[in-house]
Structure 1
Amino acid sequence: MQKPREIIDKIYERHLISQCKHTPKHIAIIQDGNRRFAKEKGVDVSVGHKLGARKTEKVLEWAQEMGVRHITLYCFSTENFNRSEYELKELFDLFTEKALAIAKDERVNKNKIRIQMVGNRELVPTGLMEKIEHVEQLTKDHEGFTINLALAYGGRNEILIATRSILEKVKAGELKPEDITTKTIEENLYQEINIPPVDLIIRTGNEKRTSNFLPWLANGNESAVYFCAPYWPVFRKIDLLRGIRVYDQRIKNSHLP
């Protein structure tokens, strides 16, 4: 039997859906608040990360239901390497566990889900990187729904790496400086993967900043941004719909004279 709160939430969800005529193709999410949620609940930080991972699975399901085609998840930034050895081990163990689970999940093949990583692969522990690359290979031909894992990721760092790559090509005579275009930069940012411009950034945990996340694809595309208060483990479908409503309103306003 549904609780009164669940009934109210369902009614409000339908109301939000009725308000949104445009669905973003690509949503990027900064999953913030796992640690603060654990602290407030008086449990180990690893519990917060595990609950956050469960929430991620639900959000991916909701996004697919709504017709979103690409989700980029900010899983682990380059700055996060400053955390304690204990927390890093817990996080990388959790990432490895999830990578193995994805490889065996029948929904991946059924729904043609593609998994790919965005970030500095040299910084990722070897064992975890091998699991991720295995999943990438298994799903490389899937075109139904794409999940981009931003791991060991930093926006300024990725632009720096792309710049070095372009300079090497100029130095080798493979590219002329006058031939460098925005397309050249994009090709060197994401050399082996295809990621479309970001339509909507969502950040949880009541932090109102985008934290160097996908600056080329998000800022360059003037994406909509939705900041919300709930910590990631308690993020609701209503919160996702509110974010989509922000995107919808931006699209509607852009059509005004």
Structure 2
Amino acid sequence: MLRSRIEPLYERYLRWQVKHIPRHIAVIQDGNRRYAREQGLDSSFGHRLGADTTEHVLDWACELGVRHITLYTFSTENFRRDKRELAELFALFREKFLAILTDKRVHKNHIRVQMIGDRSLLPDDLLETIDAAEKATQHYSEYFINVALAYGGRNEIVHAARSILDEVKRGILDPATINPDTVESHLNRGESIPPVDLIIRTGNDCRTSNFLPWLANGHESAVYFCAPYWPAFRKIDLLRAVRVYDQRMRLKESSGQRG
């Protein structure tokens, strides 16, 4: 009872502290399985609770004015999990992408949904649903949700290198003109994704796990590691993360003034 009264006050306090809102937040949603295990439940329960948390976080981010959210939902390394868990995850992903077609929040707020990652690794029925969600929102440009599925940062850069080499071989691209913009344009991702301002990782693991190395590490994004497993992530945790970004931006402003 006391917590339910204090948390809204603390949320307002944190929001009052923040001046700078990141344009693009990338989230490593870690801890679904560990959360379920500690509750004595099957991992599928943790994944479903994690999906519910994702919806809340998207609402909170929209309230704050964060225009781009990238969710590290399923990595290339996750394919090593057992077949039953993979089938459950793919069914959950399909369900959530299907829900986008009729989600009033998506269409009211003009949210564009797109997948980043290696589509060749995903089952056809899931890809069909992803394609449908992308087509249904492709004309929206107010907010962007980028879902990283079958994604790996090194895999993304390898694909970009292959694509560039192919264009050089076909005479489309002059090797002398290759620059960072060339590489960025060939990354295996959706459209209109700006550099990452803030990475959030839950689950008390302090690493970025091969996530968006070009858009995040290459642009020196702020990073916030926190202890709660993803299903237990709260609005307070999001605001604390945004405060870290805000503190960094204030420091940059201060340094600029001194310079």
Q: Which TM-score bucket, shorter chain as reference?
A: over 0.9
Deviation (angstroms), 1:254:
1.2
Tell me the secondary structure at the aligned position of residue 116 of structure 1: strand
Identity of aligned residues (%): 62
Q: What TM-score do the two structures reach when normalised by structure 1?
A: 0.98
SS in 1 for 2:69: strand
2-structure distance, mates of 1:223, 1:146: 18
Match of 1:206 in 2: 204
The offset of 1:214, in angstroms, is 0.3
CA distance in 1 between partners of 2:16 and 2:236 (Å): 13
The match for 2:27 is 29
**Who is 2:151 aligned against?**
153
Alignment check: 8 A CA contact 2:115 2:189 kept: no
Which of 85, 95, 98 is 2:96 aligned to?
98
Q: Which of the residues 48, 51, 54 maps onto 1:50?
A: 48
What is the alpha-carbon distance in structure 1 between the residues aligned to residue 95 and residue 158 of structure 2? 31
CA 1:192–1:93 in structure 2 vs 1: closer, same or farther (change >3 Å)?
A: closer
Distance 1:114 1:76 in 2: 20
Over the aligned positions, Cα root-mean-square deviation in angstroms equals 0.9
Which residue pairs with 2:240 in the alignment?
Answer: 242
Q: Which amino acid aligns with 1:171?
A: K
What is the rounded CA distance, in whole Å, between the counterparts of 2:11 and 2:188 in structure 1?
36
Secondary structure at 1:213's aligned position in 2? coil
SS in 2 for 1:60: helix
Q: Please give the alpha-carbon distance, in whole angstroms, between the structure 1 residues aligned to 2:247 and 2:26.
A: 18
CA contact 2:75–2:152 (8 Å) conserved in 1? yes
Tell me if the contact between 2:30 and 2:229 (Cα under 8 Å) persists in the aligned partners: yes
Say which SS state the counterpart of residue 189 (structure 1) adopts.
Answer: coil
Normalising by structure 2, report the TM-score: 0.97
Q: Does residue 13 of the first structure (1) align with residue 1 of the second (2)?
A: no
Would you identify which runs of 4 or more consecutive aligned residues in structure 1 move more than 6 Å?
A: none
| 3-state SS of paired residue (1:215) | coil
Aligned partner of 2:57 among 39, 59, 82: 59
Q: State which of 166, 171, 174 in structure 2 corresponds to 1:173.
A: 171
C-alpha deviations, 1:197-254, integer Å up to 9, x for none? 0000000000000000000000111000000000000100000000000000111111
2:115–2:190: 8 Å Cα contact kept in structure 1? no
Q: Which digits, 9 at most, give the CA deviation of each residue in 1:81-100, with x for residues without a partner?
A: 00000100110000011111
- Structure 1: which 5+ runs fail to align? none
Cα 1:61–1:129 change in 2 (3 A) is: same
Letter in 1 for 2:87: K
